[in-house]
Structure 1
Amino acid sequence: MMTSLKSLFTTKKPWLDLVYLGCFFLAWFVDPPNTTEIALSVGALAGFVALYVFTMRRMDWTVLVAAGLAVCLGLSMAAMNYGSAVFIVFAAPMIARLPDTRLRVPALIVLGPAVLLGSVLIGAPWYFTLAVVVLSALSGLTASSAARRAESELEAEDRQARAAAAAVEAERSRISKDLHDLLGHSLSVISLKADLAARLFEQKPDMARQEVEAIQAISREALREVRDAVSGLRDRSLQGELKSVITALESAEIEVIVQGELPALNAEPEVALVMVLREASTNILRHAQASRVEIAFVREAGRHRISIRDNGRGGRPAEGNGLSGMRERVEAVDGLFELSVEGGFAVRVSLPEQLS
C-alpha cells in the first residue's frame, strides 16, 4: 500500500491517476449497493471525472473551486460509501499542480483543516477522517514534488535550447568572421594581381602569365580555406601566414620589414593572431597607400607583443567587421588589441605568455 502511495499522482500523464478511482468501489464488496446507491454513485463518479478533466485544462483560481467541489462531493457521499474519500484525496494534487505559489500554498494549508471540519460535521468515523487527512497530505506532497520536478525539467530544457541557439549563433558568427577575413584578403590579392596581369599582358606576356598562375594558386588556396572555415578545421600556421602576407604586400610593391622571432602559441591564440595579421595586411592593400610595412614580434614583461605598422595615409577608419573581428578574436583569448594612427596606421596586439 505504501509503495502505491509513493507513486500516487507522480505520473507525467495525469489521466492515468484516475485508476485510483477503483478505491471508490471497494466498499461494495463488503456491502453491496442497491439500485438507488448505484445510480447516485455513478452520478457522483461522473461529476468528479468532469471536475478532474476541468482542472487538467486550467491553471488558474478556478482549479480551487473544482477542488472544493470534489471535497464536497466526497463528504456528501461518505454516508453512503466511505470509498468516496478518494474524491477528497484527489483534491490535494489538483491544487498542487497550480504553478502560482500564491494560490497553491494557501489552498493546500487550508485543505487539511477544511477536510477535518467537514468530516466532523457529517459525523464521519475517526478512521475515515484520519485516512482522508493522511492520504490527502501524502498525495498533495507527492503531486507538488512532481509538479516542481516537471517545472525544473522544462526550465532545464529551455536552458539547453537557449544554449543550443547561442552555440548556433556563435558558430554563424565564427563562420562570418572567417569568411570575411579569408575572402577579404584573398580577393584583394587576386584583384591586385589581375590588375598587374592586365598591365603586363601586352608588353610582358610571360610575366602576365605568371601573375595569372599566381591568381589560380591563390584562388585554390582561398577555396580550401573557405571549406576549412565552414567545417571548423582551422589549422593555420603563423609562419605560413606571415610568408603569404609578405608575398602579397611585396606584389603590391610595398617593402616589408620583419623584426623579432615568431611566438610559439597554442592553437586558439595562434589562429587569432593569424587572422589579425591577414586582416591588417588586407586593410593595408585596400586603403593605406603605403610603401613600407613593419611587422614586429617582441616578448617582454611576460607577454607577447605584436605590431603591424605602415607608413600610409593614416586616419582612423570606421571599426567595421574587419577591425571589430580582430578585436573580438584577440579579446577572446585574453589579449589586448590597440589601434594607432600616428605616422601611418598601426595594429598592436598583446597576448599573455601562458598562451605559449
Structure 2
Amino acid sequence: MPVRESGTTERKSIWSIFRPGYDGACDDPTAAPARYHGPDEAAPFTFRRAAQNRVWIYAFGLVFLLFALAVVTEDEPSPTELILRIALVLLIAVGYLATAWVADCSLRVRWLYLAGYTGVLIASYPTWGWSLVGYGAYVSIMMAMLLPWRQSRIAVVVLGLLIALTIPFGGGETAIYISVVAAGTGLAAGAGMEAGAAQGRLHRAEQRVSTLSVAAERERIGRDLHDILGHSLTAISIKAGLAARLVDIDPTAAKAQIAEIEQVSRQALADVRTTASGMHEVRLATEIASARSVLLAAGIESRMPSALPALGDRVSELLGYVVREAVTNVVRHSRAGICTVVVEPAAVEIRDDGRGLGAGGRPGSGLAGLQSRVEAAGGTLHVGSGGTGGTVVRADLRPVETDRENGPRDRAVSAP
C-alpha cells in the first residue's frame, strides 16, 4: 500500500510541473503570467529563479530548432554565412530560454524584449529568407507567457495576421501553417494561464471569506457570551454576597437568595449551550450574507433581498442549504455576470445569466442530494434553464410551512 501511495504522489508531482498552478498567483494586473509567485521565491535572474519560472518548458520548445539546424547547410553557404546561420540559431535559442528570467522584469522591459527578439528574427531575413516565419510560434508563446492576457490575446492575433501577410511575398505554405500554429498556440497558452490566475484569485477570495467568516463567528460568540455571562455572573456574585450576609441573620431569606442563584446559574448554562449550538446551524439570512461575499469575491454581481419574511427554523434551514448549493454552483460553473436571489415566505429562487445547463445538462450530485432533502421535507426542487438563458434553481416548501413554527405567510420579498 505505501508503494502505491508513493507512486501516486510522484505522478502528481511530475504532472504538476507542466500545468500552471495558482496557489501563489499574484493579483498584479501587469505581472507576467509565467512568473512564479509563492513561498520561498528565489532571487531574480538566478538559475533557481529560472527553474521556479519553469525554464524547462521553454527548453522543451527548442526541440523544433532541430529543423533549422537540418537546413543550416542548404545552398552551400560560405564559411562566413554558415557561421552566421549557426550564430543566429544559437541567439534565437538563448533568447527563447531567457524568457524564464525576463518574466521577472517590468511590463515595459518585457515589451522591449519581445520587440528586440522579433527584430533579431527580422534581421535574419538576408540569411534565412522567408523561412524566418517558422519562428513565429516562439514569439507567440513568449507573448502569452510575458504579457497580461488583455494584451497578449491582441498581440498574438496581430502576429498571426502579420505572418499570413508574408504569403504573397514568398512565405508560401510555411507561412500559412505557422500563422495558424502561432495564433492557436499563443491563444491557448495565454487562455490557460489566465484561467489558472482566475482560479487562483477565486481560491484566495474563498480563503479570505472563510477567514472573515470564522472571525465574525468568533466575534459573535464572544459578544453573546459576554452579554450572557456578564449579566448572569454579576447577578450570582451579588446574590452570593447577600446570602453570605443573611445566613446568620435571616436563614430563610438566605435560602431564598441561594435558590435564585441556582435558577440564574441554570439559565446561564442553557444560554451558553444555545449560543454554542448556533455555530452548527444553517440559516437563510446567514447563507444570503455569505453568498453576497462569495459572489463579490468572484466578480459576479449579486442581487439579494434587503429583507426576509418571517420563517420558521425548519424552513429557514432548508432554504439556507438551497442558497448555499445554488450559489456555489454559480461561482464554480456558470460563468455568470449576475446572480439574483428571490425569497418568498416558503420558497427561494436563485437564477443567473450564465451559460446554463446546456443540451442534455443535468444537475450534479450536490443538487441531487439537496433535492432528496427538500422532497423528504414535503417540498419540491426545480432546476432548469431560465427564459433568457442561465440557470434557475427554485425550492418550494409550501407544504412545510403549515408547521406550527412557521407562523403566518408574508408577502414575497425579491431582489430589486
Please give the TM-score of this superposition, normalised by the length of structure 2: 0.45
Q: 1:91 — aligned with what?
A: 139
CA deviations 1:224-275 (Å, max 9, x no partner) are 754764564689xxxxxxxxxxxxxxxxxxxxxxxxxxxx963799xxxxxx
Aligned-residue offset at 1:139: 1.4
Structure index of larger Rg:
1
Q: 1:91 to 1:268 in 2, by over 3 A?
A: same
Separation (CA, whole Å) in 2 of partners of 1:268 and 1:193: 42
Separation (CA, whole Å) in 2 of partners of 1:210 and 1:176: 32
Q: Judge which range, 12-21 or 152-161, deviates more.
A: 12-21
Q: 1:309 — aligned with what?
A: none
Q: 1:11 aligns with which of 19, 36, 39?
A: 19
Alignment of 1:299-314 (within 5 A): none
Separation (CA, whole Å) in 2 of partners of 1:230 and 1:111: 62
Q: 2:221 — aligned with what?
A: 175
Aligned-residue offset at 1:194: 1.9
Q: 1:100 to 1:130 in 2, by over 3 A?
A: closer
Q: 1:219 to 1:233 in 2, by over 3 A?
A: farther
Please give the TM-score of this superposition, normalised by the length of structure 1: 0.52
The question of 1:157 aligning with 2:203 is answered yes
Q: Is the 8 A contact 1:63 1:94 kept in 2?
A: no
Q: 1:58 to 1:86 in 2, by over 3 A?
A: farther
Aligned-residue offset at 1:186: 1.4
Aligned-residue offset at 1:72: 3.1
Q: 1:61 — aligned with what?
A: 108
2:89 partner amino acid = S
CA deviations 1:292-347 (Å, max 9, x no partner) are xxxxxxxxxx9xxxxxxxxxxxxxxxxxxxxxxxxxxxxxxxxxxxxxxxxxxxxx
Q: Is the 8 A contact 1:197 1:212 kept in 2?
A: yes
Q: Is the 8 A contact 1:67 1:91 kept in 2?
A: yes
Identity of aligned residues (%): 25
Q: 1:130 to 1:141 in 2, by over 3 A?
A: same
How many residues align? The count is: 234
Aligned-residue offset at 1:190: 0.3
Aligned-residue offset at 1:138: 0.5
CA deviations 1:51-101 (Å, max 9, x no partner) are x12442246233232223333334444644988656421222332352363
Q: 1:176 to 1:127 in 2, by over 3 A?
A: same
Aligned-residue offset at 1:172: 1.6
Q: 1:25 aligns with which of 66, 87, 92?
A: 66
Alignment of 1:69-84 (within 5 A): 69-77=116-124, 79-80=127-128
The question of 1:137 aligning with 2:183 is answered yes
Gaps of 5+ in 1: 1-9, 236-263, 270-301, 303-350
Q: 2:284 — aligned with what?
A: none
Q: Is the 8 A contact 1:67 1:95 kept in 2?
A: yes
Gaps of 5+ in 2: 1-17, 21-52, 282-310, 317-344, 346-405, 411-416
Separation (CA, whole Å) in 2 of partners of 1:86 and 1:202: 106
Alignment of 1:90-129 (within 5 A): 90-97=138-145, 98-99=147-148, 101=150, 103-116=151-164, 119=166, 124-129=170-175
User: RMSD over aligned Cα, in angstroms?
Assistant: 4.2
**Helix, strand or coil for the counterpart of 1:202?**
helix
Separation (CA, whole Å) in 2 of partners of 1:105 and 1:82: 25
Separation (CA, whole Å) in 1 of partners of 2:226 and 2:315: 18
Separation (CA, whole Å) in 2 of partners of 1:144 and 1:113: 17
Q: 1:38 to 1:94 in 2, by over 3 A?
A: closer
**Helix, strand or coil for the counterpart of 1:181?**
helix
Q: 2:44 — aligned with what?
A: none
Separation (CA, whole Å) in 1 of partners of 2:143 and 2:72: 32
